[in-house]
Amino acid sequence: MGQKDFQRWHKKKSVIQTNFPRVFFHEREIWWCALGVNVGFEQDGKGDHFARPVLIFRKFNNELFWGIPLSTKIKDGVYYYQFCANDQILRVAILSRMRPMDAKRLIDKIGVANASDFHCIQKAVIALCV
Protein backbone atom coordinates (compact mmCIF):
# COMPACT_ATOMS: atom_id res chain seq x y z
CA MET A 1 0.00 0.00 0.00
CA GLY A 2 1.42 3.39 -1.01
CA GLN A 3 1.68 6.52 1.09
CA LYS A 4 -1.70 8.18 1.69
CA ASP A 5 -2.04 11.96 1.24
CA PHE A 6 -4.00 12.84 4.39
CA GLN A 7 -2.94 16.50 4.32
CA ARG A 8 -4.33 17.12 0.82
CA TRP A 9 -7.57 15.33 1.81
CA HIS A 10 -7.97 17.49 4.94
CA LYS A 11 -7.68 20.65 2.81
CA LYS A 12 -10.23 19.26 0.33
CA LYS A 13 -12.55 18.27 3.20
CA SER A 14 -12.62 21.90 4.39
CA VAL A 15 -13.69 22.99 0.89
CA ILE A 16 -16.43 20.32 0.83
CA GLN A 17 -17.74 21.42 4.23
CA THR A 18 -18.01 25.10 3.31
CA ASN A 19 -18.46 25.24 -0.48
CA PHE A 20 -20.13 22.07 -1.76
CA PRO A 21 -23.89 22.51 -2.07
CA ARG A 22 -26.23 19.75 -1.04
CA VAL A 23 -27.81 18.02 -4.01
CA PHE A 24 -31.16 16.31 -4.40
CA PHE A 25 -30.74 12.52 -4.44
CA HIS A 26 -32.78 9.30 -4.25
CA GLU A 27 -32.27 5.72 -3.19
CA ARG A 28 -30.90 3.45 -5.99
CA GLU A 29 -28.91 6.29 -7.55
CA ILE A 30 -25.17 5.98 -8.15
CA TRP A 31 -23.07 9.08 -7.52
CA TRP A 32 -19.43 10.07 -7.55
CA CYS A 33 -18.85 10.70 -3.87
CA ALA A 34 -15.91 12.39 -2.10
CA LEU A 35 -14.93 9.58 0.28
CA GLY A 36 -11.49 10.96 1.02
CA VAL A 37 -8.40 9.24 2.33
CA ASN A 38 -9.13 6.75 5.08
CA VAL A 39 -7.18 4.66 7.54
CA GLY A 40 -5.75 1.26 6.61
CA PHE A 41 -7.90 -0.81 4.27
CA GLU A 42 -11.03 1.39 4.43
CA GLN A 43 -12.35 2.47 1.01
CA ASP A 44 -10.58 5.56 -0.31
CA GLY A 45 -11.58 7.91 -3.07
CA LYS A 46 -9.30 8.74 -6.00
CA GLY A 47 -8.38 11.78 -8.09
CA ASP A 48 -8.70 15.47 -7.30
CA HIS A 49 -11.98 15.02 -5.43
CA PHE A 50 -10.91 11.81 -3.63
CA ALA A 51 -14.05 10.28 -5.15
CA ARG A 52 -15.43 6.88 -5.96
CA PRO A 53 -18.86 5.68 -7.08
CA VAL A 54 -21.37 5.07 -4.29
CA LEU A 55 -24.85 3.54 -4.36
CA ILE A 56 -27.45 5.44 -2.32
CA PHE A 57 -28.78 2.55 -0.23
CA ARG A 58 -31.01 4.38 2.25
CA LYS A 59 -31.94 8.06 2.34
CA PHE A 60 -32.69 9.28 5.85
CA ASN A 61 -33.30 12.93 4.97
CA ASN A 62 -31.93 15.55 2.55
CA GLU A 63 -28.61 15.61 4.41
CA LEU A 64 -27.80 12.00 5.34
CA PHE A 65 -27.81 8.57 3.67
CA TRP A 66 -26.29 5.12 3.88
CA GLY A 67 -23.94 4.67 0.97
CA ILE A 68 -22.35 1.52 -0.43
CA PRO A 69 -19.00 2.07 -2.17
CA LEU A 70 -18.73 0.54 -5.63
CA SER A 71 -15.79 -0.83 -7.57
CA THR A 72 -15.13 -2.10 -11.08
CA LYS A 73 -12.69 -4.66 -9.62
CA ILE A 74 -15.03 -7.63 -9.60
CA LYS A 75 -15.05 -9.87 -6.53
CA ASP A 76 -17.29 -12.72 -5.40
CA GLY A 77 -18.62 -13.63 -1.98
CA VAL A 78 -21.23 -12.64 0.55
CA TYR A 79 -19.73 -9.17 1.00
CA TYR A 80 -20.09 -8.27 -2.70
CA TYR A 81 -22.93 -7.92 -5.20
CA GLN A 82 -22.26 -7.60 -8.94
CA PHE A 83 -24.61 -5.55 -11.12
CA CYS A 84 -24.85 -3.20 -14.08
CA ALA A 85 -26.65 0.12 -13.74
CA ASN A 86 -28.27 1.96 -16.63
CA ASP A 87 -24.78 2.95 -17.86
CA GLN A 88 -24.01 -0.76 -18.57
CA ILE A 89 -20.76 -0.79 -16.55
CA LEU A 90 -20.28 -3.95 -14.48
CA ARG A 91 -19.67 -2.95 -10.86
CA VAL A 92 -19.53 -4.64 -7.51
CA ALA A 93 -21.23 -3.19 -4.44
CA ILE A 94 -18.89 -3.61 -1.47
CA LEU A 95 -21.58 -4.40 1.10
CA SER A 96 -19.22 -4.64 4.07
CA ARG A 97 -18.18 -1.01 3.54
CA MET A 98 -21.65 0.55 3.77
CA ARG A 99 -21.59 3.65 5.99
CA PRO A 100 -23.52 6.82 6.76
CA MET A 101 -22.55 9.76 4.55
CA ASP A 102 -23.44 13.42 4.29
CA ALA A 103 -25.00 14.61 1.03
CA LYS A 104 -22.31 17.30 0.78
CA ARG A 105 -19.98 14.48 -0.34
CA LEU A 106 -22.06 13.87 -3.50
CA ILE A 107 -20.39 15.28 -6.61
CA ASP A 108 -22.09 14.00 -9.76
CA LYS A 109 -24.83 11.50 -10.53
CA ILE A 110 -23.63 8.55 -12.65
CA GLY A 111 -26.71 6.38 -13.01
CA VAL A 112 -29.39 4.31 -11.33
CA ALA A 113 -29.43 0.67 -10.24
CA ASN A 114 -32.41 -1.24 -11.58
CA ALA A 115 -35.13 -2.19 -9.11
CA SER A 116 -34.44 -5.93 -9.15
CA ASP A 117 -30.72 -5.52 -8.48
CA PHE A 118 -31.44 -3.00 -5.74
CA HIS A 119 -33.88 -5.45 -4.11
CA CYS A 120 -31.19 -8.17 -4.21
CA ILE A 121 -28.68 -5.76 -2.64
CA GLN A 122 -31.19 -4.99 0.13
CA LYS A 123 -31.62 -8.71 0.81
CA ALA A 124 -27.84 -9.24 0.81
CA VAL A 125 -27.31 -6.42 3.33
CA ILE A 126 -30.02 -7.84 5.60
CA ALA A 127 -28.42 -11.30 5.36
CA LEU A 128 -25.11 -9.82 6.58
CA CYS A 129 -26.85 -8.49 9.69
CA VAL A 130 -28.37 -11.79 10.78
Which 3 state secondary structure label does DSSP give 85?
A: coil
Q: Which of 33, 38, 35, 36 is nearest to 1 (CA)?
A: 38
Confidence of residue 121 (pLDDT cuts 50, 70, 90): very high
Q: Which of 13, 117, 110 is nearest to 57 (CA)?
A: 117
* Reported pTM: 0.83
Q: Sketch out the chain's domains with CATH numbers.
A: 6-128 (2.30.30.110)
| Mean per-residue pLDDT, 23-31 | 95
Contacts of 88 (CB under 8 A, 6+ apart): none
Per-residue confidence (pLDDT) for residue 65, from 0 to 100 = 96
Per-residue confidence (pLDDT) for residue 21, from 0 to 100 = 72
C-alpha span between 94 and 91 (Å, rounded): 9
Instruction: Annotate 62-81 with DSSP letters as a single string.
Output: SSEEEEEEEESS---STTEE
C-alpha span between 84 and 91 (Å, rounded): 6
The answer to whether the CB of 13 falls within 8 A of the CB of 36 is: yes
Instruction: Using the predicted structure, report yes or no on whether residue 39 has a pLDDT greater than 50.
Output: no
Cα dihedral value 75, 109, 48, 53, nearest 10: -10
